[in-house]
Homo-oligomer: A and B are copies of this chain.
Amino acid sequence: MRAALVERAAEMLARREPVTLRALVEGAGASTMAVYTHFGGMPGLWSAVRQEGFTRLTARLATVPATDDPVRDLAALGAAYVANALAVPALYRAMFDTAADLEDPAAAAAPFAALVACAARAREGGRFAADSDPEAVATRLWAAGHGLTMLVLTGVLPAESLEGHAPAVAAALFVAAGDDPERAHRSVRAGWATGTPSR
């Protein structure tokens, strides 16, 4: 029942239906108490839904293959991250509604950890400066991608601006981390195409 409720909530989010307690349990053939026995209330349900969002994101990022070009891989991870957000926009927004009360905070940190590991590889491989901070690079890439994504999801920026700006910002950050500008742009172009689905 637990999993069915979370899944149905995610479906309702994807279908842009308002996720209300009664509408949720009705379609699941349950009653309102099911949510309270399993999640302790709607906030608990939302925590589980956000957790599910991070789980799906982690799974999607895991499909990005690691090549011998870590900078390209960073761009590919960024593209996959953005693609996931665009695929399930309401779920993505719910994920970042608040950072509190996540059931498994470690699982939520997995996507970020993947970025950090990739940035560390770029440093060890000599692409980034020896004194560059992989965690800082990952944080900046993540924050920039998140901001761009959020502005698109809320309708402030048109969807096309993601294609145009995200790779440029990523390349700028990689150059700042020590990569050669020309190489950075090549790697980002290749990586972005890898992480972006079916075009």
Contacts and interface: CB of A to CB of B under 8 A. Distances in A.
Copies in the complex: 2
A169 interface: yes
A172 B149 CA distance: 20
A11 B143 CA distance: 29
Contact of A154 (B96, B140, B147, B155): B96
Contacts of A165: 136, 139-140, 143
Size range of the chain A interface in the assembly:
20 to 34
B150 A146 contact: yes
A159 interface: no
A150 B151 CA distance: 11
Contacts of A156: 96, 99
A164 B100 CA distance: 23
Nearest to A97: B154
A99 B139 contact: no
A145 interface: yes
Interface string A16-30: 000000000000000
Contact of A147 (B97, B144, B172, B176): B144
Nearest to A144: B144
A84 to B, nearest CB: 16
Interface in A127-168: 136, 139-140, 142-151, 154-157, 161, 164-165, 168
Q: 10 smallest A-B Cβ distances: which pairs?
A: A147-B147, A172-B176, A99-B155, A146-B147, A144-B144, A143-B147, A143-B148, A99-B156, A172-B172, A140-B169
Interface of A: 96-100, 136, 139-140, 142-151, 154-157, 161, 164-165, 168-169, 171-173, 175-176
9 contacts: A96-B150, A96-B151, A140-B169, A140-B172, A142-B147, A143-B157, A146-B150, A146-B151, A150-B150
